[in-house]
Amino acid sequence: MKQKLFLIIAVVFGIVAGGVFSLFQKPFVEVSQSFVVRNERHAAEKVYDYEGYYTLKTANEAAAALTAWLQSPGGVQAVYRDAGVENSFEKLRAYERVFSVKRADTPFFEVRFKTSEKENAEKLSISLEKLLSQELTAFQNSSSLALGPSPAVSIERAVPLMRNVVYGAALAFTLMLFTVLFRIAIQQKEGVI
């Protein structure tokens, strides 16, 4: 009976802890924006047999350079400064985690980021597109490369209250169940010896 009471108290405590944890979380806006690098210069057909390969390879290398720049602290700082959005990054690691870039070995890449306000999401998206285009133009001082952006997709996310409550209850129940079973095992072992 005492063990059941401990389990019930643990579950209630977990529910309350999950709810309190949710109070400290803020809603956010999640943004996804896709880009493709195009090489608009084509070699003369009779000069190169592998003209399509080199055109694609140049665009691919440019996309790799852009994504590396975007994930650097300098790139992140430039985007935030251009957008006029305040940041509170205290460590260099925090800069590296701002923009999540998904890219296969192609000139196509997707950039995802989170922000607290829809207005900041729009500012960052515009700044991101502008600065990536500038960096691309500066890449090997090339005017043949062009950036094809797609419209940004943003989703406003609420605090996951129910998920936090369920996680809190499950974690508390599991820990308390482990504690109760451990105590029972110790008591049985002491009774055997």
Instruction: Kindly report, residue by residue over 68-78, the tens digit of the pLDDT.
Output: 888 888 888 99
Read off the pLDDT of each residue in 153-158 and give the average, rounded to a whole number. 77
Q: Is 113 in a helix, a strand, or coil? A: strand
Whether 14 and 71 share a structural domain = no
Host domain of residue 34: 28-157
* SS3 track for 41-107: CCCCCCCCCCHHHHHHHHHHHHHHHHHHHHCCHHHHHHHHHHHCCCCCCCCHHHHHCCCEEEECCCC
Supply the pLDDT for residue 103.
84
**More confident position, 139 or 48:** 139
Q: Is the pLDDT of residue 191 over 80?
A: no
CATH number at residue 91: 3.30.70
Whether 20 and 40 share a structural domain = no
Count of beta carbons in the 10 Å neighbourhood of residue 18: 22
Angle between helices 51-70 and 73-83 (to 10 degrees): 80
Report CA 186 to chain centroid distance, whole Å.
45
N-terminal to C-terminal alpha carbon distance within the chain: 25
Read off the pLDDT of each residue in 81-92 and give the average, rounded to a whole number. 85
Supply the pLDDT for residue 51.
61
Confidence of residue 82 (pLDDT cuts 50, 70, 90): very high
Structural domains counted in the chain? 2
Report if pTM > 0.75. no
Whether 42 and 64 share a structural domain = yes
